[in-house]
Amino acid sequence: MTSSSSKPANQALAPVAARDRVFAWHDHASLWFSLGVGLLVMQMGAYLLPALSPTQALAAIALGSLVGAGLLGWVAKLGCDSGLSSAGLMHGVYGRRFARLPIVLNIVQLLGWGSFELVVMRDASVALGRQSGAMAAAYWPWLATLFWGGIILLLISGSMVTLVRRLVSRIALPLVVLSLLWLSWQFLAMAGAQGLATLASRQGDGSLSMLSAMDLVIAMPISWLPLVADYARHGKSGKAALTATWTGFAVANIWCYALGMLVALTLPSEDLVTALLLAQGGLIALSLVLIDEVDNAYGDAYSAAISAHSMLPAWSIRRWGLLIAALCTALALVLPMHSLEPFLLLLSSCFVPLFGVMLGRLAFGGNAQELMHNAPAVRWDAVALWLLGIACYHLLPLLNSSMGAALPTLVLTFVVAAATRNLQQRAVAARA
Q: What are 276-289's pLDDT values in tens digits? A: 887 777 788 888 88
**Spacing of C-alpha 139 from chain mean position:** 31
* In the predicted structure, residue 273 carries a pLDDT above the cut 90: no
Choice among 155-164, 368-377, 423-432 with the minimum mean pLDDT: 423-432
Q: How many CB atoms sit inside 10 A of residue 198's CB?
A: 9
Most trustworthy range by pLDDT among 2-6, 215-219, 368-372:
215-219
Residue 165: pLDDT band by 50, 70, 90 thresholds? confident
> What pTM, to 2 d.p., does this model score?
0.90
CB crowding 335-349: b at 16 or more within 10 Å, else e: eebeebeeebeebbb
More confident residue, 136 or 54: 54
* In the predicted structure, residue 3 carries a pLDDT above the cut 60: no
H or E element that contains 24: none
Sign for the CA dihedral angle at 284, 247, 165, 115 comes to: negative
More confident residue, 202 or 235: 235
CA distance 276 to 319: 38
* In the predicted structure, residue 423 carries a pLDDT above the cut 70: no
Q: For residue range 316-332, what is the model confidence (pLDDT) as tens digits?
A: 999 999 999 999 999 99
pLDDT of amino acid 205: 87
Domain coordinates in residue numbering, the chain: 19-336
Per-chain mean pLDDT for the chain: 88
Q: How many CB atoms sit inside 10 A of residue 30's CB?
A: 22
Distances (CA, A) of 376 to 144, 188, 368, 426: 47, 56, 14, 13
Q: Cβ neighbours of residue 183 under 8 Å, at least 6 residues apart?
A: 259, 276, 279, 282, 285, 286, 289
Taking a C-beta distance cutoff of 8 angstroms, is the pair 23, 236 a contact?
yes
Residue 424: pLDDT band by 50, 70, 90 thresholds? low
* In the predicted structure, residue 431 carries a pLDDT above the cut 60: no
Q: Could you give the dihedral angle defined by the CA atoms of residues 116, 121, 124 and 125, in that order, rounded to the nearest 10 degrees? A: -150
Average pLDDT over residues 370-379: 86
pLDDT of amino acid 90: 95
pLDDT of amino acid 404: 80
Q: How many CB atoms sit inside 10 A of residue 39's CB?
A: 23
pLDDT of amino acid 2: 41
pLDDT of amino acid 5: 40
pLDDT of amino acid 4: 40
Average pLDDT over residues 219-245: 94
Q: Is the previous residue joined to 50 through a cis bond, with omega within 30 degrees of 0?
A: yes
Taking a C-beta distance cutoff of 8 angstroms, is the pair 326, 157 a contact?
no
- Which SS3 state, helix, strand or coil, does residue 9 take? coil
Most trustworthy range by pLDDT among 91-100, 333-342, 359-368:
91-100
* In the predicted structure, residue 77 carries a pLDDT above the cut 60: yes
More confident residue, 154 or 425: 154
pLDDT of amino acid 339: 66
pLDDT of amino acid 335: 81
pLDDT of amino acid 232: 96
CA distance 397 to 341: 19
pLDDT of amino acid 432: 55
Class of domain 19-336: mainly alpha
pLDDT of amino acid 168: 84
Residue 428: pLDDT band by 50, 70, 90 thresholds? low
What are 23's strand-pairing partners?
Answer: 235
Closest of 195, 190, 192, 175 to residue 279, by C-alpha:
190
